[in-house]
A = this chain, B = another copy of it.
Amino acid sequence: VPDALNDLKQRLAEVYDLEKASAIAGWDQRTMMPPKGAGARSEVSATLSGIAHERFTSAEIGRLLDELAPLEAELDYDSDDASLIRVTRRDWDKARRVPSELAADWAREAGKAHVAWLEAREASDFSLFKPALQRVTDVSLRWAEYMEPGDSPYDAFLDEYEPGMKTAEVKAVFDVLRPELTAIVREAGEPADDSFLEGDFPVATQQEFLAGVLRDFGFEDGAYRLDPTVHPFATTFSRTDIRMTTRYKPTNLRALWAGMHEAGHGLTYQGTDAAVARSPLYGNASLGLGESQSRTWENLVGRSLPFWRGRLAELQRLFPQLEAVDLDTWYRGINRVAPGLIRVDADEVTYSLHIILRFELEQEIVAGTLALDDLPEAWNAKMSDLLGVDVPDDARGVLQDVHWTRASYGYFPTYALGNVLSVQIWRAVEEELPDLDAQLEAGEFGPLYESLRRRIYRHGRKFTPLETLERAIGATEIDPQPYLEYLRSKVAGLQPA
């Protein structure tokens, strides 16, 4: 191995360690930190990311990348070393474009916007958020000017979360989804009863059930944790130190699916090849691909009939009030389709419609064709148009998401791409594993995990999302049809006999 490559790897490993230190501080902040620790914690986080950025964007790393270009050309494109050089160059080029003052401005305005958003949401008054949203949006537009110009002004934003993907590609997928999803919502008819999901569900018992599910999913003993938090998330400090969280309420069971969702993220972290650990290649190829896997374990597994055929009895033993709920009723209830106001409470069908709304608005914001003053009205009109619901107030409308406080335009579409990709990939797994349903029912998740690990997880960030998809299932583009077929068939199966 040439010295330059070793030198590069060593420098990247240090940057990785700084980022992991930041992740540890962040996990602690969201699960353990006493509230008054927040002030000092933000200083620690800012220092760590500043130093990580400074070291990563150093001229020395650029020099090493130049020196390694001939080696990269010699190596197989798919090799770990060629991928490391290629992905690092891409990351480095992007990181170098942004003046550090601008990054600091963005962080500062985002912090202020977060405070304003909390107040505005409390008062359910968008006008209290608007000035801060304008300022952080302005910073984000200045940032976009430093990026590679795309076909659309939104391309730069999207590229942050879906490397290499264009707005037009996403739009093509969403243009198919939009009318089809609204049709499926209509087909779903009267929402099923899911009132049995509310009631008295002691948290410790929920934890016990979920711990068993995660064990069965295939997490390695002594290499992960699952903790309570307010806003569920998953993070990883190494392939053998994975942290998942969920939000327990003693009055309902929704923590189970939030937990399985985060477990899906966790499995991608666990399944990455050891060879790409402690490097920029550790992680997901994109947010959309990552989300496809959280959705896989939350929905394609965790809301499937086979899964619950095998596991409802255990849940009924833990919560005897569910003994009166038969499998069919349970299945219809946990898959209830009903248009609503809140994205994070949405079902599998309507969820992507919430995303399409945001995707359309974000493009207009970024293009400057929608003034922020007009945002609530535009939001409410689209909610009526896409989901047929009237928005009663800003808190349950335009103010419901935290993402815009950071002007994280381009983030939302990755959720719907994840939904689409999850089924597109699942179809290939089903072909490979004819006994999959029986395995899910028996609680044998090993073959499923192993297939997904081999197809996707092991690659980490070696490839772009589309390159990864090609290696995973041989497809060269995102195809919304399997997802739509899955929803149509599921909705048909949910109808009362």
- Report A's interface with B, CB cutoff 8 A: 13-14, 17-18, 20-22, 24-25, 27-28, 32-37, 39-41, 43-44, 46-48, 50-51, 220, 222-225, 237-238, 240-241, 277-278
Q: Which residues of B contact A28 (CB under 8 A)?
A: 24, 27-28
Given contacts A28-B24, A34-B241, contact A43 B278 (CB under 8 A): yes
Query: Nearest chain B CB to A377's CB is how many angstroms away?
Result: 40
Contact B32 A44 (CB under 8 A): no
Given A17-B47, A41-B238, 18 new contacts (CB under 8 A): A14-B50, A17-B44, A18-B51, A21-B22, A21-B48, A27-B28, A28-B28, A32-B225, A34-B222, A34-B225, A36-B222, A36-B241, A37-B223, A39-B238, A40-B241, A40-B277, A41-B237, A51-B51
Q: Which residues of B contact A44 (CB under 8 A)?
A: 17, 20-21, 24, 237
- A28 and B23 CA atoms in complex are apart in Å by 12
Query: Nearest chain B CB to A48's CB is how many angstroms away?
Result: 6
Q: 24 pairs across A/B with beta carbons < 8 Å?
A: A13-B47, A17-B44, A17-B46, A17-B48, A18-B51, A20-B40, A20-B44, A21-B21, A21-B24, A21-B44, A24-B24, A24-B28, A24-B44, A28-B28, A32-B32, A34-B223, A34-B224, A34-B241, A36-B222, A36-B240, A36-B241, A37-B240, A39-B238, A40-B237
Q: Which residue of B lies closest to A242 (CB)?
A: B34
- A238 and B29 CA atoms in complex are apart in Å by 13
Given contacts A47-B14, A47-B17, contact A34 B278 (CB under 8 A): no
Q: Which residues of B contact A238 (CB under 8 A)?
A: 37, 39-41
Q: Which residues of B contact A46 (CB under 8 A)?
A: 17
Q: Which residues of B contact A32 (CB under 8 A)?
A: 32, 225
Interface-centre pick from A34, A35, A238, A278 (highest chain B CB count, 10 A): A34
Q: Which residues of B contact A17 (CB under 8 A)?
A: 43-44, 46-48
- A32 and B241 CA atoms in complex are apart in Å by 10
Q: Which residues of B contact A220 (CB under 8 A)?
A: 36
Given contacts A24-B28, A35-B222, A37-B223, contact A13 B43 (CB under 8 A): yes
Q: Which residues of B contact A237 (CB under 8 A)?
A: 37, 40-41, 44
Q: Which residues of B contact A18 (CB under 8 A)?
A: 47-48, 51
Contact A37 B241 (CB under 8 A): yes
Q: Which residues of B contact A14 (CB under 8 A)?
A: 47, 50-51
- A13 and B47 CA atoms in complex are apart in Å by 9
- A37 and B22 CA atoms in complex are apart in Å by 16
Q: Which residues of B contact A241 (CB under 8 A)?
A: 33-34, 36-37, 40-41
- A46 and B17 CA atoms in complex are apart in Å by 9
Q: Which residues of B contact A21 (CB under 8 A)?
A: 21-22, 24-25, 44, 47-48
Q: Which residue of B lies closest to A18 (CB)?
A: B47
Contact A36 B223 (CB under 8 A): yes
Q: Which residues of B contact A277 (CB under 8 A)?
A: 40
* Closest CB pairs A-B (n = 5): A37-B241, A40-B238, A17-B47, A36-B240, A36-B223
- A50 and B21 CA atoms in complex are apart in Å by 13
Among B43, B51, B240, which residue has its beta carbon within 8 angstroms of that of A34?
A: B240
